């Protein structure tokens, strides 16, 4: 199954951001720390206009710490880019973001000259949660489904920072199916655009390769099955996803498995790391029985 998902309002959101960025001093791009490349809107670089950019690696408490450190180093090699791992609900960590905003824009932040910041991010990375924490109250809608924010909002944080919220947007063409499946595994793609069994099998293939011990520990497996599909079945048996006669309900097992990975119940994992090559991506897709393969190295 090829994953394609690009709600119509997201095209308009990109147009709004392109226009708004002319008035912005600092761009804050909220990413999922577990998949910072795939959760980045790569079109943003086309409209950024060399403005300072802070890449917030949200959900840091769910990501593999060593891989997150590698991503911070990777991003900060780019001119004008800073990276900050945090948890959007953690007030002390978000205060560090405020300090960083003022550091990258030292000539503004005085009365009458606020630092004009814009928060962007694909759906379901925690953008609205971050805005609410920055504001100290509930201003932006928060939901567990993608695409809750539908139009830009202007928020005065009353600390020298003026914040512009924007609709969540996702890249328009998912040519990299490995990235698309990672987004689906993380919960960033709407449920109506994916097949839970396929995505669950893909996630199992990745876990077999990168975190086999976590799989065995969480689901009480003495040895891993040979195939990712069999891993999903083993997870289903462990979690009681059974139909009449003790047959595993694979769809429910895959959905439950993905829910567990998203909640961190199998441990702190990252779905990608800097330098992942196309041949590894192709191998994972092949293991999962998915024909669409990325054509080149993606990072």
Task: Indicate the residue among 111, 145, 165 that finishes a domain.
Answer: 165
CATH number for position 60: 3.40.50.300
Check whether 95 is labelled as a binding-site residue.
no
Element (H, E) at 26: strand 26-32
The parent domain of residue 182 ranges over: 177-288
Sign of the dihedral defined by the CA atoms of residues 279, 280, 282, 287, in that order: positive
**Axis-axis angle for helices 228-239, 250-263 (nearest 10):** 80
Q: Are residues 15 and 136 in the same domain?
A: yes
To the question of whether residue 141 is assigned a binding role by annotation, the answer is no
Question: Is 172 part of any domain?
Answer: no
Residue 168 marked in a binding site: yes
The number of folded domains in the chain is: 2
107 belongs to an annotated ligand binding site: no
Residue 119 lies in a domain: yes
Within a domain: 298 = no
- Confirm whether residue 256 is marked as ligand binding: no
Q: What totals of helices (H) and strands (E) does the chain contain, helices first?
A: 11, 6
| Domain end (from 134, 165, 196) | 165
Mark which of 165, 195, 218 sits at the end of a domain: 165
Structure tokens at 21: 């960025």
Q: 96: annotated binding-site residue?
A: no
Establish whether 50 is an annotated binding residue.
Answer: no
Is 199 within any annotated ligand binding site? no
Q: What is the CATH number of the domain that holds 222?
A: 1.10.1580.10
Residues 299, 276 contacting (CB under 8 angstroms): yes
Based on the domain organization, do 107 and 83 belong to the same domain? yes
Structure tokens at 299: 């990072």
Do the annotations mark residue 129 as ligand-binding? yes
Establish whether 151 is an annotated binding residue.
no
- The answer to whether the annotation marks 61 as part of a ligand binding site is yes
Geometric angle at alpha carbon 56, from 162 and 263, rounded to 5°: 125
Same domain for 207 and 274: yes
Give the per-residue pLDDT at 217: 97
68 lies in a domain?
yes
pLDDT at 18: 78
In a domain, 81, yes or no: yes
Considering the domain boundaries, does residue 3 fall inside one? Answer: no
pLDDT digits (tens, 9 = 90+) for 51-83: 999 999 999 999 999 999 999 999 999 999 999
Regarding whether 189 and 74 lie in a shared domain, the answer is no
Question: What's the pLDDT at 247?
Answer: 95
**How far, in Å, CA of 119 to CA of 140, rounded?**
12
Q: Profile the chain (299 residues) by mean pLDDT over runs of 10 residues.
A: 54 73 91 92 78 96 97 94 97 96 92 91 86 81 46 81 74 65 84 83 94 96 95 96 94 96 96 73 67 37
């Amino acid at each position: 199954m090829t994953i394609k998902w690009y709600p119509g309002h997201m095209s308009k959101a990109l147009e709004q951001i392109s226009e708004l960025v002319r008035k912005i001093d600092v761009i804050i791009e909220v990413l999922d720390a577990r998949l910072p490349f795939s959760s980045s809107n790569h079109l943003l670089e086309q409209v950024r206009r060399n403005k300072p950019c802070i890449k917030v690696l949200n959900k840091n408490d769910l990501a593999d710490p060593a891989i997150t450190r590698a991503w911070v180093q990777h991003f900060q090699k780019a001119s004008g880019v800073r990276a900050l791992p945090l948890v959007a609900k953690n007030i002390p960590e978000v205060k560090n973001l405020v300090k960083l905003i003022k550091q990258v824009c030292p000539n503004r932040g005085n009365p009458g000259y606020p630092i004009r910041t814009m928060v962007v991010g694909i759906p379901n990375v925690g953008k609205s949660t971050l805005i609410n924490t920055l504001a100290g109250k509930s201003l932006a809608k928060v939901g567990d489904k993608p695409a809750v924010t539908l139009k830009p909002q202007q928020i005065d944080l009353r600390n020298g920072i003026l914040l512009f919220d924007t609709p969540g947007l996702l890249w328009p063409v998912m040519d990299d199916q490995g990235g698309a499946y990672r987004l689906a595994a993380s919960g960033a793609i709407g449920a109506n655009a994916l097949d839970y069994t396929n995505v669950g099998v893909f996630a199992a293939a990745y876990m077999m390769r990168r975190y086999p011990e976590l799989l065995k520990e969480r689901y009480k497996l003495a040895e891993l099955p040979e195939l990712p599909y069999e891993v999903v079945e083993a997870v289903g048996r462990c979690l009681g996803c059974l139909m009449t006669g003790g047959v595993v309900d694979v769809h429910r097992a895959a959905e439950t498995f993905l829910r567990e990975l998203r909640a961190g119940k199998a441990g702190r994992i990252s779905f990608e790391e800097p330098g992942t090559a196309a041949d590894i991506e192709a191998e994972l897709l092949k293991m999962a029985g998915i024909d669409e393969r990325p054509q080149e190295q993606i990072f």
